[in-house]
Amino acid sequence: MVKLAEWRGKEVFRKYGVPLPRGQVARSADEAESLARSGAVPLPCVIKAQVLAGGRGKGGAVQFANNPEEVRAAAGSILGLEFKGEKVREILLEEKLPIARELYLSITLDRSKRRPIVIASAQGGVEIESVDDAQIDRQSIHPFPGLTVYEQRRAAEVLGLSGSLAKSLGSVLSALWNAFVGEDAELVEVNPLAVVVDGLVALDAKVIIEDDAAFRHPDYSEVRDDRTPLEEIAREKDIAFVQLDGNIGVIANGAGLTMATLDVLQELGGKPGIFLDLGGTDDPKKVTEAFLLMAQARPAAVFLNIFGGVTRCDTVAKGLVEAMKQVPESERFPIVARIRGNNEAEGTEILRAAGITSVPQLRDSAQAAVTLARGNA
Ligand code: GDP
Ligand code: MN
């Protein structure tokens, strides 16, 4: 999932003709101030943290300023924020427009209907999850004709727009549709879409690009805002590594086994949080590399659950033991292993020699990992 920061989302909007406020990105208070002084950003202006989490408006991550001094102060305070766990490194400065109404408009994929869906609500500016369902209009779009004038008209009606505003909405919606299709997006969202004196303006932009279409959009490979630093390194090394909340590290092979392992840990009351899918590798060095990455995430315990096939048990065991030698004593964590399948006996022996017991039963080994993590938390 490639989630674009607001300013990148707005670049996409610009390309497809969605009307936007004038604005610039800055990375320091100095830069922000000089953008305001030079007139590159008209005053008064809005200063917005470029983080991926929503709810910035309520959380102090959107501020207003009337002069260059205020811009500097606001920029400084926003750049110092850690918003919902994410350090603010970039801010977007935009002209502050007088808003008459705030609307909600998005296009996403309705997976149960297997069709795109246009979502519209006159209650914009707040998170759509908090809007009363009766205030939300959903239109399923047939992909072959694509978005039609009929759907544009209905959206305008739902949003209470008539005359030239209804016309503007038609063109905004069709631009969003073109962006959705053209960029292989799974979501394009404008919240709020503001009614201003002379029309409609997208004040916010949320764009998520479908991962499976990444090969068609090489530009987005540079966008890595949604990865943790370790995930970043993993990606460069071609290691499937995901970091979420939770303190148990899981090393498995294949998506099916990895997910089943997570389920079992969860069921036993554990909190799996770092997943590493070894896939099909037969190189102990690769395993070592992957394991060292896991170690850097500082798990409370690691559960190694391998079904030996292409990835042979002894390969994994060798790689693991080599990695543990490289992890400093103070940073070590308990490891529970369950290795079954190809070369199981050799693998088990290598682990045993290094002081790690392989527990053959899934439930027993998972339970041990949960208990050890709890003890080490
Ligand atoms: P979010 O809370 O993270 O979704 O951030 P938004 O970009 O949606 O901004 C939050 C709120 O700030 C909006 O709902 C608006 O009320 C306000 N806001 C953002 N840009 C402008 C602007 O140009 N003019 C005015 N008056 N308000 C703005
Ligand atoms: Mn918003």
Ligand 1 near 21 CB (within 6 A):
yes
Report the distance separating Cα 57 and Cα 73, nearest Å. 17
Does residue 220 have an active-site annotation? no
The residue whose CA has the least distance to atom 20 of ligand 1 is: 203
Span 307-336, average pLDDT: 89
**55 Cα nearest atom in ligand 1:** 2
How distant is the alpha carbon of residue 192 from its chain centre? 21
Ligand 1 near 59 CB (within 6 A):
no
The superfamily CATH assigns to domain 101-220 is ATP-grasp fold, B domain (3.30.470.20)
Q: Do domains 101-220 and 229-376 have the same CATH topology?
A: no
Confidence label for 260 from pLDDT (cuts 50, 70 and 90)? very high
Does residue 150 have an active-site annotation? no
Specify the CATH number of the domain 229-376: 3.40.50.261
CA of 306 to the centre of ligand 1 (A): 49
Domain boundaries, the chain: 22-95, 101-220, 229-376
CA-nearest of 303, 302, 301, 306 to 339 is 306
Q: Looking up tokens 């190809």, which residue turns up?
A: 342
Span 174-186, average pLDDT: 97
- H helix or E strand, kind and range, residue 47: strand 45-49
The pLDDT assigned to 8 comes to 94
Report the distance separating Cα 258 and Cα 240, nearest Å. 11
Cα–Cα–Cα angle for 41, 47, 53, nearest 5°?
135
pLDDT in tens, 286-298: 889 889 989 988 8
* Predicted structure pTM score: 0.70
| The pLDDT of residue 333 is above 60 | yes
- Per DSSP, what are the bridge partners of residue 30? none
Q: Work out the percent of the chain whose per-residue pLDDT is above 70.
A: 99
Specify the CATH number of the domain 22-95: 3.30.1490.20
pLDDT in tens, 125-142: 988 989 999 999 999 999
**102 Cα nearest atom in ligand 1:** 14
- Mean pLDDT check: name the lowest of 90-94, 226-230, 238-242, 341-345: 226-230
Collapsed DSSP state (helix, strand, coil) of residue 23: strand
Report the distance separating Cα 267 and Cα 261, nearest Å. 10
The pLDDT assigned to 244 comes to 82
pLDDT in tens, 351-366: 999 998 889 899 999 9
CA of 132 to the centre of ligand 2 (A): 17
Span 149-160, average pLDDT: 98
Q: Looking up tokens 């369950």, which residue turns up?
A: 338
The pLDDT assigned to 274 comes to 87
Question: Helix, strand, coil % (nearest 5) of the chain?
Answer: 40, 25, 35
